[in-house]
């Protein structure tokens, strides 16, 4: 039996635009995504000689074939026609669920990377990301990591210059959003403000963190904030204590800000923790 270890990093959307609805009922998106240091840990025992099994230290996470990590293992092994002779996946959860931070996708991506390494890296990282598209929309990006432009349903990836050194504060309020419901609302009326992706790429190229933060736009943010005004409260705390830019990630409900120094992040955390237990300090990965 061999045990594999792999970190699973959360993602945030620095920009997120929703484009046309496709013939398959899904929407095309265009987004600059970034992995951050909030992470789950994945352990995989290969060759257990027993039926497949998945364990997680959080009770509300499915531990059968519904889990994206399980699906990723199945997709990888089927694609390469490998028999692991029994598999046990163990997930230590730290990324909040239903937050827009891609926790399940990060776990699936970590499984793909770990299994690929175990079998001698037969697939390049981009081929592995392509395989991840069969598992979920955010899995390709989470497989690649870093800073990237993500398009289509999440399967089209292009590496971008790394985000400059900075600190993130991420706050997950108690509520969660329904992603299908948010897409339906966006379909009902024109989107007032869309991200300027050309300007964002230029800002990343120049390494200007102030410009980067000034270009944050997520088309879901105003829709969710309209119904959950507490997001404005969280952002106001960010703003009052040194945030260079803030917004919701994905379809929510976590919101994040970027600050230049750890001290700013620590103060923001202290201000929010009394009302919001799920507050995290992170760095770009």
Active site residues: 11, 138
Q: What is the 3-state secondary structure (H, E, C) of 212-261?
A: HHHCCEECCHHHHHHHCCHHHHHHHHHHHCCCCEEEECCCCCCEEEEECC
Contacts of 233 (CB under 8 A, 6+ apart): none
Distance CA 274, CA 280 (A): 13
Give the long-range contacts of residues 120-125, CB within 8 A, separation 24 or more: 122/80, 123/80
């Amino acid at each position: 039996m061999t045990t594999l270890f792999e970190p699973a990093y959360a993602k945030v959307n620095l920009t997120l635009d929703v484009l046309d609805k496709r013939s398959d009922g899904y929407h095309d998106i265009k987004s600059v995504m970034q992995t951050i240091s909030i992470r789950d840990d994945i352990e995989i025992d290969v060759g257990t000689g027993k039926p497949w099994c998945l364990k997680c230290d959080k009770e509300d996470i499915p531990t059968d074939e519904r889990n994206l990590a399980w699906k990723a293992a199945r997709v990888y092994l089927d694609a390469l026609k490998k028999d692991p002779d029994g598999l046990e996946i163990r997930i230590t959860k730290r990324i909040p669920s239903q937050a827009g931070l891609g926790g399940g996708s990060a776990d699936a991506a970590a499984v793909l990377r770990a299994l690929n390494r175990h079998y001698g890296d037969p697939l390049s990282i981009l081929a592995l990301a392509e395989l991840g598209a069969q598992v979920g929309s955010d899995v390709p990006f989470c497989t690649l990591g870093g800073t990237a432009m993500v398009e289509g349903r999440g399967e089209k990836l292009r590496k971008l210059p790394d985000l400059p050194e900075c600190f993130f504060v991420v706050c997950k309020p108690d509520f969660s959003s329904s992603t299908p419901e948010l897409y339906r609302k966006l379909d009902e009326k024109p989107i007032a403000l869309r991200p300027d992706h050309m300007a964002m790429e230029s800002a990343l190229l120049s390494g200007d963190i102030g410009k980067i933060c000034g270009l944050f736009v997520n088309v879901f943010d105003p829709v969710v904030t309209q119904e959950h005004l507490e997001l404005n409260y969280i952002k106001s705390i960010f703003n009052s204590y040194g945030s260079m830019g803030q917004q919701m990630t994905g379809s929510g409900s976590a919101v994040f800000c970027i600050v230049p120094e750890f001290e700013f992040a620590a103060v923001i955390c202290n201000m929010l923790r009394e009302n919001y237990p799920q507050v995290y300090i992170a760095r770009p990965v």
